[in-house]
Amino acid sequence: MNTTIDLNVDRNSNIALSRQIFIKISSLILKGILKAGQRLPSSRSLAEQLKVSRNVIVDALDQLAAEGFLESRKGSGTFIADGISIHLEDKPELVEFEKIGFEDVRTDITDFRSGLPDMNFFPRHIWIQLTREIYSNQAFDPLSYHQPEGALSLRKEIASYICSRRGGKCSEQQIVITSGTTQAISLVSRLLLTAKRHLVWLEDPITYDIQRIIKNNGGTIKGVEVEENGIAVPRSTVSGSFLYATPSHQFPTGVSMNVQKRTSLLEFAADNNIYIVEDDYDSEFRFDGPPMSCMQGLDPDKIIYIGTFSKTLCPAFRIGYLILPYNLVNRGRQQKWFTDLHSPIPNQLVLAEFIRRGHYTRHLTKMRKIYKTRRLHLETMLKQEFGQSVEILGSQTGIHLCARFKGRTFNSELLFKIEQTGCKVYPVERHTLNTKKYNDTIILGYGCLDTSEIEYGVHALGKVLL
């Protein structure tokens, strides 16, 4: 039986005509509209029907035959092949995207979203110049496959920085470059969590997303209260996997651990045979002196350190790193390999040069000054607006602070009203596990806000709260 086919082509499309014909005929076959054994019209008549050259039709038919949709029978023509059946439902072509992770930052009002550095100060010219150099340098091959731990030059720079400026103890061998802290947490979870040891001690409060990532990797979370000097030393001696903490600048409360607390935690870790995972995300921005020492240097065999460039440079690079105890290095590298072979290399090479030539420390010094001015302005504005009724917490370090308004409860109605009035604030409560201590406290990120935006935001907050 000869077949007439309902075909047309779109001459304005950027899809080649032969490809359009291939797609149409193959989809008619897959949908069962063209059936096995049916004979196709000749290429000449299809060309006439569609007003295209015969070569276009021949190309399409050749491709259909190569993929098994058609078979030629000598002397009798081209037929739909046997054995093609698939049940295709007409599905909508687009899915409605759910919001996963961060909401968009509002730019029409003052959005006190925390954790965002001011990318306007990112040294683009230097970065572009170094990128050009990296791609022109024949000695590197940034475009090929690499080892899971990442670029040696970057790992060397990080090791040298952490040892000379942050009190860490490590060599480049212990470092695995990751896609931010986020991937580092997943890798650590996969490395340490087992069916028997799935318990993870976590500061309460701690970034909601961190809780989700650990749970998603099979961890059972046990929240531990945060005191004035960091996480309380847990009492339980059940078998667990690791304790996760932000010793130099707790998120979100802003407190930091003194050395007494750090050594007590290490005793707890030794007694329970667990690791401590140190998340050091933004403590480079300490305003009244150099950054706190990291905890890793106290016991490099028991502490897994996670660093990130998301706050000091920009989050979009997705460059973070793990410093692993020696006995976990190979398993850590393997986990990274299983996950994504390795993180993208070109920007790692650029970053290594950026650090080596002193641009990184200069950038930190510049940003520290900018953030300090913003922090002081925010504190002054809060005190002017609210006087004794506000308590400011954890403003010595980082790019956010917490403001406590005793007697207030930042529930969704109040937060909505505040947003309607001109500023968006974030309740600590969103990051808590068990504690109800922080109903009255909000997080105010100021990294991305200039002084006039800060003023506008604090006045808006005042209109609602006063």
Ligand X SMILES: Cc1ncc(COP(=O)(O)O)c(C=O)c1O
Q: Which residues contribute to the site for ligand X (CB under 6 A)?
A: 115, 180-182, 207, 246, 251, 279, 281, 308, 310, 315, 320
Q: Which is nearer to ligand X, 148 or 205 (CB)?
A: 205
Place of tokens 């340098």: 137
Taking the complex as a whole, the smallest distance from the CB of residue 123 to ligand X amounts, in Å, to 19
In this structure, what token pair is assigned to residue 230? Answer: 């960091």
Rounded to whole angstroms, the Cα distance separating 405 from 403 reads: 7
| Residues near 368 by beta carbon (within 8 Å), at least 6 away in sequence | 284, 285, 286, 287
Q: Which is nearer to ligand X, 50 or 443 (CB)?
A: 443
**Is 273 strand, coil or helix?**
coil
Nearest residue to ligand X, using CB? 180
Task: Report whether 107 contacts 457 (CB < 8 A).
Answer: no
Taking the complex as a whole, the smallest distance from the CB of residue 248 to ligand X amounts, in Å, to 11
Q: Which is nearer to ligand X, 344 or 422 (CB)?
A: 344
Taking the complex as a whole, the smallest distance from the CB of residue 100 to ligand X amounts, in Å, to 14
Q: Provide the angle, in degrees to the nearest 10, between the axes of the packed helices 346-356 and 359-386.
A: 80
- Tell which residue, 254, 354, 255, has the closest CA to residue 314: 354
**Is 432 strand, coil or helix?**
coil
Query: In this structure, what are the phi and psi dihedrals at residue 457, rounded to the nearest 5 degrees?
Result: -65, -45
Taking the complex as a whole, the smallest distance from the CB of residue 245 to ligand X amounts, in Å, to 10
Rounded to whole angstroms, the Cα distance separating 454 from 112 reads: 8
Q: CA angle, corner 398, sides to 279 and 181, nearest 5?
A: 30
Taking the complex as a whole, the smallest distance from the CB of residue 223 to ligand X amounts, in Å, to 15
Taking the complex as a whole, the smallest distance from the CB of residue 271 to ligand X amounts, in Å, to 26
103 phi-psi bin (left φ>0, alpha ψ -120 to 50, beta other): beta
Q: Which is nearer to ligand X, 197 or 261 (CB)?
A: 261
Taking the complex as a whole, the smallest distance from the CB of residue 310 to ligand X amounts, in Å, to 3
Q: Which is nearer to ligand X, 71 or 209 (CB)?
A: 209
**Is 381 strand, coil or helix?**
helix
Q: Which is nearer to ligand X, 182 or 296 (CB)?
A: 182
Taking the complex as a whole, the smallest distance from the CB of residue 305 to ligand X amounts, in Å, to 12
Q: Which is nearer to ligand X, 20 or 207 (CB)?
A: 207
Q: Which is nearer to ligand X, 182 or 348 (CB)?
A: 182
- Tell which residue, 214, 148, 170, 199, has the closest CA to residue 304: 170
- Tell which residue, 289, 288, 325, 285, has the closest CA to residue 304: 325
Taking the complex as a whole, the smallest distance from the CB of residue 203 to ligand X amounts, in Å, to 9
Task: Report whether 155 contacts 283 (CB < 8 A).
Answer: no
- Tell which residue, 321, 347, 305, has the closest CA to residue 140: 347
Q: Which is nearer to ligand X, 198 or 431 (CB)?
A: 431
**Is 103 strand, coil or helix?**
coil
